[in-house]
């Protein structure tokens, strides 16, 4: 049971890191091509990944405290 939860948490962390990387790359691409829409969208995706990572981390800490 705990092993499945660890796998789920790992998948979520990888997904969040992927969002951050893709967002940053899109933001850089937007800056290089002077496309402000692409840059803003990249920033938004990266910020979403960061927020999801923080929320996931906080939830994991609360679950560990309850044990």
Confidence of residue 1 (pLDDT cuts 50, 70, 90): low
Confidence of residue 7 (pLDDT cuts 50, 70, 90): confident
Q: What is each CA distance from 7 to 3, 12, 25, 28, in whole angstroms?
A: 6, 9, 27, 32
Residue 29 CA to residue 21 CA, distance in Å, equals 12
In tens, the pLDDT along 11-60 reads 989 999 999 999 999 999 999 999 999 999 999 999 999 999 999 989 88
User: pLDDT value at position 24?
Assistant: 96
Residue 56 CA to residue 45 CA, distance in Å, equals 16
């Amino acid at each position: 049971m705990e092993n499945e939860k660890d796998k789920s948490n790992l998948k979520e962390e990888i997904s969040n890191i992927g969002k951050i990387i893709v967002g940053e790359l899109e933001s850089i691409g937007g800056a290089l091509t002077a496309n402000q829409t692409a840059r803003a969208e990249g920033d938004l995706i990266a910020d979403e990944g960061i927020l999801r990572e923080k929320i996931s981390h906080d939830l994991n800490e609360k679950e560990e405290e309850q044990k």
